[in-house]
Amino acid sequence: MDAGGAIAVGREADSIDREQNHEWIRMMTHTRPSTENGPAKILPPPKDFPGRLRQVGPSLILTAGIVGSGELIVTTTLGARLGFVALWLILLSCVSKVVLQVEIGRYAISSGDSSLRSVDRIPGPRWRASWVVWGWLCSTLISSSLVGGIVAGVAQCLHLLLPQVSVTAWGGIACLVTLGILLSGGYSVVERGSMLMVLAFSLTTVVAAGALQWSGHAVSPENVWEGLTFQLPAQGGLALAFALFGLTGVGTSDLFAYPNWCLEKGYARHIGPRGSQPDWYARARGWIRVMQLDALMAMSVYTVITVAFYFLGAAVLHRQGLVPEGGQMIDTLSETFTGIFGPWGYFVFLSGALVTLYSTLFASVAANAIMGLDCLAVFGVVSGDRPLQRSRWRRGMQVFWAVVYATIFLAFPEQPVQLIVLGGVVQTGMLPVIACSILYLRYRRLDRGIGPSPWVDGLLWLSGGLTLCVAAYTLVGRLVG
């Protein structure tokens, strides 16, 4: 190359660098009077633990959605099939992904960007939106089978409590009731409803797991040690085990939804526009600490409940050779309580299972409605500065997802476990995409002044690598199988 050509190339590279720097400056110094979720309401972050505790909420909605599918059905079924050998995988699944949740929450709070608007910035192929947005849309549509299986579980519970109404009718009624509740209010309705359901099923499950030790199905230290020896399940239980990795703890859909719930709660509005006041960084760090407490509290709750359900399946069902399947799924799962408390435990289980499963249906319709609205905004169908239009579209998305879940249930009423496992496998396959997106946002878009500490960065890379390995192992295993 001659000297003139080299100079031209150098100038072009300098021009690209300047444009990238200008884009970075525009992004980090933008000032907006409001976020998409309402006008800015700048508030100082709470400084003590009780004050922070009063501000938690978004993760409670995630917990309500997590526990019904992954914990009650898949976790208990895995314990019934495999015994205690997969306990380590459950603990790893619950703990390892919370750092991804915290980091995508950090970016959303500091930037004010919604979930899909954030990942729409990811480089790569585009067709009106980023390939990651399209990946979210495809995986969400396919994994809606999961909530269809949940509707089947809710309907079975209600039919066993009131057999005069058919299972099919109960499934439709459950979807209609969910729709009625969600259409009656906004974020506060979702948060309060989720909080009540989380409290109810947490109490029921922990009491039942504790009672194991005074029954004929006690869990011994040897059982626990067996579950912590890092054994891989037998081939027959491998797909279920890795579907569990996508369902227990925060899954793909939860990671996508969490930033939007943080925005709905108001964390970003309380920080205020970037550069609006000199203490912006202090407010940002304070509200991020609130979000971290929110995520860690939820992790503690769903980890305890997940382990409790796994012990119930391994200690009671596995020892009797019972595996929840088909139209008898709920009836078989009820053995976890009747084996401990006797006949009256059947109705205690049905009540607890109903609340647990229904919480997932409720939270899923709510979450996918705001994610659907987010998707429409990215595609330019809905405008962020037209609240009435957004409200109408949000209600429309709630109706849409309730109909989708009811339709899947009606099409496959006898295959709830298979529907849930399919959804879990799809979500596991999508985990590396969201993990890599979070890493990109962390290093290329996040304000450097509020970045995580080096040890959190290390955990973030470890979690991202783990999700990639599990997803690859799951998908290759499915193809080979």
**What pLDDT score does 34 carry?**
41
Phi–psi pair at 35, nearest 5 degrees:
-95, 175
Reduced to 3 states, what is the DSSP secondary structure of residue 126? Answer: strand
Q: Cβ neighbours of residue 135 under 8 Å, at least 6 residues apart?
A: 430, 433
**What pLDDT score does 246 carry?**
67
Cross-strand bridge partners of residue 34:
39
Alpha-carbon dihedral sign for residues 254, 257, 263, 266: negative
Predicted TM-score of the model (pTM):
0.83
**What pLDDT score does 328 carry?**
77
| Residue among 341, 45, 330, 343 at smallest CA distance from 212 | 341
Reading phi first (left if > 0) and then psi (alpha if -120 to 50, else beta), residue 234 is in beta
Element of type H or E holding 35: strand 34-35
- Asked if 56 contacts 262 with a C-beta cutoff of 8 angstroms, the reply is no
| Residue among 253, 198, 233 at smallest CA distance from 87 | 233
- What value does the CA radius of gyration of the chain take, rounded to a whole number of Å? 23
The span from the CA of 34 to the CA of 113, in Å, is 11
Q: Chain-centre distance of CA 406, in angstroms?
A: 21
Mean per-residue pLDDT pooled into runs of 10, the chain (481 residues): 42 38 36 47 89 90 75 80 86 89 94 93 93 95 90 90 92 94 84 82 82 85 89 62 70 91 91 75 93 93 88 89 80 83 83 86 92 93 78 92 94 83 82 92 91 92 86 64 54
The span from the CA of 102 to the CA of 122, in Å, is 19
**What pLDDT score does 18 carry?**
39
Count of CB atoms within 10 A of residue 76's CB? 28
**What pLDDT score does 9 carry?**
38
In the chain, what are the domains?
Answer: 38-480 (1.20.1740.10)
Place of tokens 């994994």: 143
**What pLDDT score does 118 carry?**
95
The span from the CA of 381 to the CA of 249, in Å, is 33
